[in-house]
Amino acid sequence: MGAGHRCTSVRGCNRPILPPVGCRRKGANWWRGDAFRCKWSADDVFSSRSAYQLLFEGTTKLPGAPHIWHSFASMKFRLHAWLALRWRFWSADHLIRHGMAANAICRLCSAADDTLNHLSLAFPFAVQVWAGVIHTVHSQLHLPNAELEEWWPTAVNALPAARRKEANSLIMLILRSIWIERNERIFNDRCTSASRVINAIVDEWNSWMQCRGG
Ligand SMILES: [Zn+2]
């Protein structure tokens, strides 16, 4: 028995702690004591930060995701933007990637591949809408000039901090409005002019700003 090693786990117990069966260490040397080590901290000491690191170990970061949350748009706009950033809409490239039949060329302009980026940012109708709305309500925001996940953070981070929340919200409003119009054209064969869509977005935007007291 290792001299002096007694139970301290239960108040008043104090029973002798015996070496485990088969332990070959002599005398009191069998006892090395217990120590809690947190392998997620560089100094082995537990912290809430290390626990959160463990919780999110293995996750991948979604570019642009922080901008979705730094906004005052309602959840349907945020959800649309989240799906767009993850390329989860059923554009032709997405269908083909999943082994489904689809015409790879955009059915609306026949000038480019039918991708989410083309339909949301680069399709001629989309270009008109982005330019019209941004020129009207947020002229400091740069027009889309790259893929969504690249352009969005770059354009918003170039703005003064006080205007970023507003810009994120506006981007989500435009993205969803263009997608709805795209669906109307493809599935319902109904076409609204760019100027009418721009006016509808600006009206919606003005009502958002009124709700915020702007
Ligand atoms: Zn097109």
The first and second tokens of residue 122, run together, are 């680069």
Residues 174 and 204 in one domain: yes
- Domain of 111, in residue numbers: 65-211
- Structural domain ending residue among the three candidates 9, 38, 59: 59
Does one domain contain both 79 and 52?
Answer: no
Tell whether 73 and 124 lie within a shared domain: yes
From 59, 81, 108, the end of a domain falls on 59
**Do 79 and 26 share a domain, yes or no?**
no
Average pLDDT score over residue span 119-142: 93
Are residues 102 and 195 both part of a single domain? yes
Q: How far is the CA of 124 from the centre of ligand 1 (A)?
A: 7
pLDDT score of 50 more than 80: yes
Measured between its terminal Cα atoms, the distance across the chain in Å is 78
Mean pLDDT of the chain: 86
Same domain, 46 and 135: no
User: In this structure, are 141 and 194 located in the same domain?
Assistant: yes
Helix 164-187 vs helix 194-211: crossing angle, to nearest 10: 140
Rounded to two decimals, the pTM is 0.73
Cα(197) to centroid(ligand 1), Å: 17
| Whether 55 and 69 share a structural domain | no
Contacts of 25 (CB under 8 A, 6+ apart): 19
Residue 207's pLDDT is what? 94
| Cα 193 to averaged position of ligand 1 atoms, centre (Å) | 15
Q: Which stretch of 37-46, 79-88, 110-119 has the lowest confidence by average pLDDT? A: 37-46
Token pair of 76 as six digits: 């349907």
Per-residue pLDDT, 57: 81
Range among 25-39, 55-69, 137-151 with highest mean pLDDT value? 137-151
Q: Which residues pair with 105 in a beta bridge?
A: 113
pLDDT band at 131 (very low <50, low <70, confident <90, very high): very high
Separation of 59 CA from ligand 1 center, angstroms? 34
What's the CA-to-centroid distance between 192 and ligand 1, angstroms? 16
pLDDT tier, 64 (very low <50, low <70, confident <90, very high otherwise): confident
Q: What are the φ and ψ backbone dihedral angles of 105, each rounded to 5 degrees? A: -90, 140
